[in-house]
Chains A and B, each alone.
Chain A
Amino acid sequence: MKARRVRAALKGWGGVGAMAVVLALTAVFALVLPLSQSRGDGSTGTGGQGVAEGAQTKAEDCTNPQDQSLAPSGEDGETIQDIRERGHLVVGVDQNSYRWGYRDPNSAKKTSELEGFDIDLAHAIAAEIFGDPDKIVFRAIPTNERIPAIQGDRVDMVIRTMTISCDRLKDVAFSSPYFQTGQQVLAPTTSDITGYDASLANKKICSADGSTAWENLDADKKSGKLAASADIKTTVPNQLDCLVRLQLGEVDAVVTDGALAASQAAQDPTVELKGEPFTTEYYGVAMKKEADDLVRRVNQVLVDYRKNGWQQSYDKWLEPSLGESAGPPPVKYQ
């Protein structure tokens, strides 16, 4: 099995493409095979697109990026001390992802609070650190600014439907996964697009700049998995901007995480998800690479949150568009 994977990587799949394959494989075999050290696979390829560019460190042990987080701990460290002294947590979020992080213009509260599944989690973390869920400053961040915002200390953490990936692990640290999803194609109901397949030939496909969706599209187009005639030039700051382009007829399809695609479909009854998810991805809370204490602390919060809070938040925000949930994804630490 290991040999096959290594060969796949060497054949010249982009690092990201290989990662996608690895992810798919691990999704199938994760429970069967014991985790073993495997070197030189996955992300050592030539991928490095987007945010990971120029950060080509040799990533070892990267088969299951979602299982690379540190064990939970409730200890205060340097990072948490700094946050306490500041008096509030600064969280990078999205304000455009329906049901994940957004402002409801019709909110009865008459305030401009952000709300959604990601926002609930942010409040839970603030509540744990400060004892007050509102000691928080939200910073809206475009998709391609998530990692620079963390590295530049503009935010303490990013909770923004961010996929845990091997490439990103080189730049930031992730918490344990709090949600499982996969890339999916969104297109008008009447479109002849059937999914992530040959029907995308000659179509214009929109994705968010710096998203895993774009990385996949780019790698698959290079490898030939995606028709060469597919036009993936249209990239936007936020996945929701893709729906604008789709409605205006500037693109034919959108590729994004299934969870987000579903929230787009929820805002427009004339579009739908086409085909099955073609990747498996996990969302995690991203933090600064050196902030071990914060990572452990967030994982501690997540341990409790999975038991109490996660399901309620899911039912409130996501159940209407995603349907019943089997619960949070399984967790393994480093």
Chain B
Amino acid sequence: MTYTPNGGSAPPGAGPPTMPAMPPQPGPPAAAPPAAPVAQPAPAGPGGPDPTPPRRTAWAEGVDQLRAAATTEPGRLRIIGAALALLLVAFGSMTAWQMTERSDAADNVLSSSQPLSADAALIYRSLATANTAASSGFLAGGQETAESRQEYERGINTAADRLINAAANSEPGSESAETITRLNKRLPEYKGLIERARSNNRQGYPLGGAYLRYANAKMQVMLKDAEDLYKMENQRLRSDYNAATPYPWIAIGAGVLAIGGLVWAQRRNYQRTNRVLNHGLVAATAASTVVLLWLVVGHSLARAGLNDSYDHGVRSLNVLNDARIASLKARGNETLTLVSRGAETKKVDGEVVDAYDNDYKIQMKDLSAKLAAAEDLADDSAGESPVKGATENMQVWQDRHKEARTADDSGDYQGALDRVIGSDDKKPTGQCFDNVDTDLEKALEHEQGEFEVAAEDGKGAMTGLPVGAAVLAVLGASGAVLGIGRRLSEYR
């Protein structure tokens, strides 16, 4: 059954009958071997007598052989089979590769960069809380209360705890690792200064206040670092999102190419043989269509989920974290205004104002802007109501703050103190700050939940895709080879 349609292969006159004798083996091996078996006879023929071909490269020979093979239908079929198998395997591996990449990035978003970004925000918050607690404790006159001491301890402990976690998750040598190291180094220094402030305070020495100022100066540097860390972690989160959401164009392109190839092969088959269905090729087409659909739909779903988690989770979380930091800063400045008693001034629009009170105003403005933004971003009432609560509490805070300032400015320092850090019956602003903080915590919890659900959905949509694509692609490739092999066997 070996035809030589034309004696095109001129040079070494490789006996047409020599080569097709071999490939009766069907199935997968046939896909790869065609080149190999053909290769042997060719050099065997001219091997000894002809000295001219030594210059020819393996590539040139391969091309020649392919050309030779292409002259026969079985040869052509082998090439088509090999090409189809290659396309399908390529499609499968591209899909597996690109989707693994995206799925890993999505996994990072969920299990690493978002928690780290939240941790960084928490580090900042805890440090600021501890510092505010320490200065309020001093402000209270006399010895600090058990409450403010506990708040201070809690802040320091949380910060230390989160720093360890952040250090474990940071890339060695990276900028954030350096920042974390610096923070880790300064935290005990800061604690040491506070302890000295306390012991001097106990003895009734104003030196305690001087230590507190020194500690506060150190904390301001630490807060700057913590803010940088928060920004860096947010960037990392953003870049993980950027790695997880783009369409896997290479895989999609490979899929389209593979399916196109299969369709063309079947059409050719039909035209040559008038047979409509080649089981192997149909199976291969079905498998690759499934993979392509899975890829597109799965990734679109994942993308939608991730984008949703960003728009409704991360953005809200960022705004809420910013709001919480602003309220903390405002509170810190409010107490420092009273601690410093006008010691620090600043020129604003040509007017000399209290530096801390000025900062308080700036932070309050920021807080109110951030709360408004959070309310806009909140997409359900469960997310909206704590933000509304925080806004209301902030307004009360501002009213009370005005009263406190009026009292201080008219010489009633004790009255101002009472309205800022006094007991609850004195209606202090501290109460409002606590309420704002509680509300924001509630809102943060809610948005964190939203984020996790959406991101989990997104990540879930990609589950199994890389493995599934690989398996199906191999199945498809086998189908294609089998299908072609079936046609090929007709030539025996």
Interface residues of A (CB under 8 A from B): 87-88, 95-98, 102-107, 110-113, 135-142, 145, 148-149, 152, 154, 237-238, 240-241, 243-244, 247, 264, 267-268
Answer whether residue B294 sits at the interface, using C-beta atoms and an 8 A cutoff: no
Known A-B contacts A111-B141, A137-B410, A140-B342; A98 and B417 likewise in contact (beta carbons under 8 Å): no
Choose among B341, B343, B414 the residue that contacts A237 (Cβ–Cβ < 8 A). Answer: B343
Q: How far, in whole Å, are A139 and B341 apart by their CA atoms in the complex?
A: 5
A-chain residues with CB within 8 Å of residue B211 when the two chains form the complex: 244
Most buried by A among B205, B206, B352: B206
Between A107, A111, A244, the greatest number of chain B beta carbons within 10 A of the residue's beta carbon is seen for: A244
Closest-CB distance, B340 to chain A (whole angstroms): 6
B141 touches A105 (CB 8 A): yes
B206 touches A240 (CB 8 A): yes
Q: With contacts A238-B210, A240-B210 known, is A104 near B204, CB below 8 A?
A: yes
With A98-B207, A244-B211 already in contact, the answer to whether A112 and B417 are too (CB < 8 A) is: yes
The one of B202, B342, B411 that contacts A141, using a Cβ cutoff of 8 Å: B342
A152 in contact with B352 (CB, 8 Å): yes
For residue B411, give the distance in angstroms from its CB to the closest CB of chain A.
4
Query: Please, how many angstroms separate the alpha-carbon atoms of A241 and B344 in the complex?
Result: 15
Compute how far the CA of A111 lies from the CA of B206 in the bound complex, rounded to whole angstroms.
15
Is residue B321 contacting chain A, with contact meaning CB distance below 8 A? no
Complex interface: chain A residues within 8 A of B214 (CB): 241, 244
Bound CA–CA A97/B209 (angstroms): 10
For A141, list chain B residues within 8 Å (CB).
342-343
Bound-state CA distance A37–B407 (Å) is 50
Q: Which of A87, A104, A140, A243 contacts B210 (CB 8 A)?
A: A243
The reply to whether A267 and B213 form a contact with Cβ atoms under 8 Å apart is no
A106 touching B142 in the complex, CB below 8 Å, given contacts A88-B410, A240-B210, A241-B213: yes
A157 to B: closest C-beta gap in Å: 14
Q: B201 touching A105 by the CB < 8 A rule?
A: yes
Given contacts A98-B206, A267-B205, A268-B207, contact A105 B142 (CB under 8 A): yes
Q: Which residues of B in the span 386-437 have a Cβ within 8 Å of any Cβ on A?
A: 408-411, 413-414, 417
Of the residues A96, A138, A139, A149, contact of B206 by C-beta under 8 Å: A96
Q: In whole angstroms, how far apart are the Cα atoms of A139 and B214 in the complex?
A: 20
Q: What are 28 of the A-B contact pairs (CB < 8 Å)?
A: A88-B410, A95-B341, A96-B206, A102-B209, A104-B204, A105-B142, A105-B143, A105-B201, A105-B204, A105-B208, A106-B143, A106-B202, A106-B203, A112-B141, A113-B414, A138-B413, A139-B341, A140-B340, A141-B343, A148-B345, A148-B352, A154-B352, A240-B207, A240-B209, A240-B210, A241-B213, A241-B214, A267-B205
When A and B form their complex, which 6 residue pairs have the shortest distance between CB atoms, in order from nearest?
A: A140-B341, A137-B411, A112-B141, A102-B206, A139-B342, A267-B205
Q: Which residues of B contact A244 (CB under 8 A)?
A: 207, 210-211, 214
Assess the A140–B343 pair: CB atoms within 8 A: yes
Cβ–Cβ < 8 Å partners of A113 in chain B? 413-414
Give the nearest-CB partner of B200 in chain A: A267
Which residues in B have some Cβ–Cβ distance to A below 8 Å?
138-139, 141-143, 196, 200-211, 213-214, 340-345, 352, 408-411, 413-414, 417
Nearest to B205 among chain A residues (CB) is: A267
CA distance A111 to B352 in the complex (A): 29
Minimum distance in angstroms from B339 CB to a CB of chain A: 9
Q: By the criterion CB–CB under 8 Å, are B413 and A98 in contact?
A: no
Distance in angstroms from A236 CB to nearest chain B CB is 9
A95, B205: Cα distance in complex, Å: 11
Closest-CB distance, A250 to chain B (whole angstroms): 10
Residues of B within 8 A of A102 (CB): 206, 209
Chain B residue numbers with a CB within 8 Å of A103 are: 141, 206, 209
Contact between chains at B142 and A138 (CB < 8 Å): no
Residues of B within 8 A of A241 (CB): 210, 213-214
CA gap between A88 and B410 in the complex, in Å: 8
For B417, list chain A residues within 8 Å (CB).
Answer: 112
CA distance A111 to B142 in the complex (A): 8
- Could you tell me the distance between the alpha carbons of A95 and B212 in the complex, rounded to whole angstroms? 13
Closest CB of chain A to B220's CB: distance in Å? 14
Known contacts A98-B205, A240-B210, A267-B207; is A110 also within 8 Å of B141 by CB?
yes
How many angstroms from the CA of A3 to the CA of B417 in the assembled complex? Answer: 58
Main secondary structure of the interface of A (DSSP, over half): loop
Which residue, A103, A138, A142, has most C-beta atoms of chain B within 10 A?
Answer: A103
- Since A88-B411, A106-B203, A142-B344 are in contact, a sample of 4 more A-B pairs with Cβ atoms closer than 8 Å, ordered by chain A residue number, is A98-B205, A113-B414, A141-B342, A268-B207
How long is the Cα–Cα vector from A149 to B345 in the complex, in angstroms? 9
- The smallest C-beta distance from B170 to any residue of chain A, in angstroms, reads 30
Q: Which chain B residues border A112 with CB–CB below 8 Å? A: 139, 141, 413-414, 417
B343 contacts A142, CB within 8 Å? yes
What are the residues of chain A within 8 A of B411 when measuring CB–CB?
A: 87-88, 135-137
Contacts of A145 in B (CB 8 A): 343, 345
Bound Cα distance from A139 to B208, whole angstroms: 19
- Least distance between B206 CB and chain A CB atoms (Å): 4
Chain B residues positioned under 8 Å from A247 (CB to CB): 196
Distance of B346 from chain A, by nearest CB (Å): 11
**Could you tell me the distance in whole angstroms from the C-beta of A148 to the nearest C-beta in chain B?**
8
Q: Residues of B contacting A243 with CB < 8 Å?
A: 207, 210
Q: How far in angstroms is the closest Cβ of chain B from A96?
A: 5
Q: Which residue of A has the minimal Cβ distance to B347?
A: A152
Residue contact B345 to A95, C-beta cutoff 8 Å: no
Decide if A97 touches B141 in the complex (CB within 8 Å): no
Question: Which residue from chain B places its CB closest to the CB of A268 in the assembled complex?
Answer: B207
Give A140 to B356 CA distance when docked, in angstroms: 13
Which has the most chain A C-beta neighbours within 10 Å: B411, B413, B414? B411
Closest chain-A Cβ to B296's Cβ sits at a distance in Å of 65
Question: Of all chain B residues, which has the CB nearest A245?
Answer: B214
B205, A138: Cβ atoms under 8 Å?
no
Residues of A within 8 A of B409 (CB): 137
Residue in B closest to A153 when the chains form the complex, CB atoms: B352
Given A95-B341, A241-B210, answer yes or no on A107-B141 (Cβ-Cβ < 8 Å).
yes
A95 B207 Cβ-Cβ under 8 A: no
Instruction: Give B377 Cβ to nearest chain A Cβ, in Å.
Output: 42
- Contact residue among A96, A110, A138, A152 (Cβ-Cβ distance under 8 Å from B209): A96
CA distance A154 to B413 in the complex (A): 16
Q: How far is the CA of A112 from the CA of B408 in the complex (A)?
A: 13
Query: Closest CB-CB distance, B118 to chain A, in whole Å?
Result: 35
| Smallest CB separation, B405 vs chain A (Å) | 12
In the assembled complex, the Cα of A139 lies from the Cα of B413 at a distance in Å of 10
Report the minimal beta-carbon distance from A271 to chain B, rounded to whole angstroms.
11
Residues of B within 8 A of A106 (CB): 142-143, 202-204
Q: Complex Cα distance A114/B285, Å?
A: 88
Is A154 a contact partner of B141 (Cβ separation < 8 A)? no
Q: Tell me whether A154 and B210 are in contact (CB under 8 A).
A: no
Inter-chain CA distance A113–B214, complex, in Å, is: 22
Query: How far is A137 from B415 in the complex, measured between Cα atoms in Å?
Result: 12
Q: Which residues in A have their C-beta under 8 angstroms from that of B342?
A: 139-141, 154
Which residues from chain B contact A264 at a C-beta distance below 8 Å? 207
The residue on B at minimum CB distance from A108 is: B142
Give CA–CA (A268, B203) in the complex, Å.
11
Distance of B251 from chain A, by nearest CB (Å): 61
* Chain A residue nearest to B342 in the complex (CB): A139
| CA of A150 to CA of B343, assembled, Å | 13
A325 vs B22: C-alpha distance when bound (angstroms): 123
CA distance A238 to B341 in the complex (A): 14
- Chain B residues lying within 8 Å of A105, measured Cβ to Cβ, are 138, 141-143, 201-202, 204, 208
